[in-house]
Structure 1
Amino acid sequence: MKRTNCVRSVNAVLACASCPGDDAGGSLRSAGVVTPSIVPQATRLTTMRLLALLHGLGQTPQSWQDQVTELPPGFRAVAPWLRGMRPARTEEFSVEGAADDVLALLNQYGVEQMSIVGVSLGAMVALDAAIRAPEAVSHLVLASGQINPPRSVMRMQRLAFSLIPAKRLAAMGVEKRRFLRALDAAAQIDYRGRLGAVTAATLVLVGDQDRANRPAAEALAAGITGARLEVIPGAGQQVNTDNPAAFNKAVYDFLASAPPRRSSASMGA
């Protein structure tokens, strides 16, 4: 059974989430999804929880289709392009810049906190936001994430991806040049020693077939206070699309049951 039966066209919803200027606010709102480009600046969420869905490297906002169709009541979700990843745009990708865009959603919708779910590159962006603005993130889901990617692995990945024809990536909605630059930026991150800054209730997910990210998943769960690690069966790195049913259950059960942790700032108030 679907968690919500009010979705008219999920494809249209996520297409609009990635296409500023398209007027499909009705479909977005009916599906419980809002985007900065569609919803007026004055819009405020007063009775619903804001949920940011951050796509991975090689994915697009459309990759969240299976999560949007199962969105629980009480949530409004936004699935944006990460800065520098959208084709035909001039800005370059950086983890910090993308995290700043995510945190800007708080002012956009007039809320003090949000929940963030990130996969792969999106998990790195989500982690950066939770480290630099712990008071802004109530719940954090890190899927297929990294703390300090092994340089040898990143070099091999870059070489492999550089051999993929640009047309093949374009068919997936991904621009090869941006893809490789984002891969280079991700290779430079290092959150070792900074995980203690995270105060959000945290769930770490990794696919049982994702050997490359398993050590990082274990390190994230060990380094973030109160974090829990869950392995998703039948899934690789793109865990949200490899096994959406198991992914959705893990994420939405966590968001429903895990109380938000208080930041050190709020505890000192």
Structure 2
Amino acid sequence: MEEISGILQRSGSAIHYWVAGPKRAPMVAFTHGASMDHRMFAGQLPAVWKAGYRTLRWDIRGHGRSKPLGKVPLRMTDVAEDLQALLDNHLLGRQVCLVGQALGAQVSQQIVFSRPERVAALVVIGAGCVTFPAGPWHAWASAWSRAGCRLRSGRTLRQRLARASGIVPAVQTYAYDATQRLTRGELLAALRAGAGKIRSDPTYRIEQPLLLVHGEYDGTTGVRRLAPRWAARDPRCRYEVIRRAGHHAHQDNPAAFNRLLLEFLAEHFPLPRGLHP
């Protein structure tokens, strides 16, 4: 299926996006992780289209084709506002299923928190919960992470990010290529955005259906350790570990992830009556 591309001017950046699928179909919006781009969800599109859904992919400001970075410093809330503007232009008042990986999942959670009526379901890949109360360790870990990034050269950072992305060589190659499209300054801005302040609200619960997944070998700090606690907190959460996969679980093992995604969509975000794949 051919995607239609577009550009949305937002706060000094030209936000590039791609949409495809029947206009009456429910929309699934994909948001990539820090230093990646819209291509990271290429392995999901054929399955989602075949199931009858409409898709939206985009490049976060400063990433991929969305240049320049524009508003600085880059914050999760700013990126969430960019995504909300895209959704306002394409949803026509309807709801959406948000799918996000790492920073993209944090951004998606921001929208669920601020505009819950717009979100029918949420899929989180390899990310932490932005509404867990932050312990003292979080500020310490974030400070050390930012300091470590500043000390590394651009090439070293790209190599490190590529190795951490997945266990499949093709996934690591993609990740390294994606980081090449960012300057060192853009790369550091993206990583800082992903290490931003957590919104602490111990009483908050995500009421929408939530599919929470991470790779069996995801080495990201806290993701595997805190995921069971997150799954126990939210009443409509389905928690799954993707076997033979790392941080980019949907890329390392697309067959397993796509099966879970389609099951989740069929149960919680089905096609309207009369609309068939």
What's the TM-score once normalised by structure 2's chain length?
0.71
Are 2:98 and 2:123, in contact at CA under 8 Å, matched by a contact in 1?
A: yes
Asked if 1:108 is matched to 2:89, the reply is yes
Name the SS of the counterpart of 2:235 in structure 1: coil
Q: 1:61 aligns with which of 38, 43, 46?
A: 38
In the alignment, which residue of structure 2 is the partner of 1:3? none
Separation in structure 1 between the aligned mates of residue 177 and residue 257 of structure 2, nearest angstrom: 25
Which of 230-239 and 78-87 deviates more?
Answer: 78-87
* Aligned-pair CA distance for 1:64: 1.1
* Aligned-pair CA distance for 1:158: 3.8
* Aligned-pair CA distance for 1:206: 1.0
What are structure 2's unaligned runs of at least 5 residues? 9-14, 159-175, 271-277
Name the SS of the counterpart of 2:193 in structure 1: helix
In the alignment, which residue of structure 1 is the partner of 2:232? 222
Tell me the number of residue pairs that the alignment of Structure 1 and Structure 2 aligns.
Answer: 231
Separation in structure 1 between the aligned mates of residue 208 and residue 147 of structure 2, nearest angstrom: 36
Are 1:130 and 1:137, in contact at CA under 8 Å, matched by a contact in 2?
A: yes
Are 2:31 and 2:100, in contact at CA under 8 Å, matched by a contact in 1?
A: yes
Q: Any residues of structure 2 matched to 1:149-188 within 5 Å, and which? A: 150-159=138-147, 161-162=149-150, 163-166=152-155, 169=158, 171-172=177-178, 173-188=181-196
In the alignment, which residue of structure 2 is the partner of 1:144? 126
In the alignment, which residue of structure 2 is the partner of 1:20? 7
Q: 2:210 aligns with which of 188, 194, 202?
A: 202
* Aligned-pair CA distance for 1:142: 0.9
In the alignment, which residue of structure 2 is the partner of 1:4? none
Q: 1:91 aligns with which of 68, 71, 77?
A: 71
1:227 and 1:46, CA in 2 relative to 1: closer, same or farther beyond 3 A? same
The one-letter code sitting in structure 2 at the alignment partner of 1:118 is G
Name the SS of the counterpart of 1:56 in structure 2: coil
What are structure 1's unaligned runs of at least 5 residues? 1-6, 22-34, 40-44, 261-269
Are 1:36 and 1:105, in contact at CA under 8 Å, matched by a contact in 2?
A: no
Deviation string for 1:43-88 (max 9, x for gaps)? xx75201111000012111111111122243211111112344343
In the alignment, which residue of structure 1 is the partner of 2:274? none
Q: Any residues of structure 2 matched to 1:225-244 within 5 Å, and which? A: 225-244=235-254
1:228 and 1:20, CA in 2 relative to 1: closer, same or farther beyond 3 A? same
Separation in structure 2 between the aligned mates of residue 94 and residue 102 of structure 1, nearest angstrom: 13
More strand by share: 2
Separation in structure 2 between the aligned mates of residue 78 and residue 231 of structure 1, nearest angstrom: 25
* Aligned-pair CA distance for 1:198: 2.5
Which of 109-118 and 152-161 deviates more?
Answer: 152-161
Higher relative contact order (CA 8 A, sep 6+): 2
1:195 and 1:66, CA in 2 relative to 1: closer, same or farther beyond 3 A? farther
What's the TM-score once normalised by structure 1's chain length?
0.73
The one-letter code sitting in structure 2 at the alignment partner of 1:83 is R
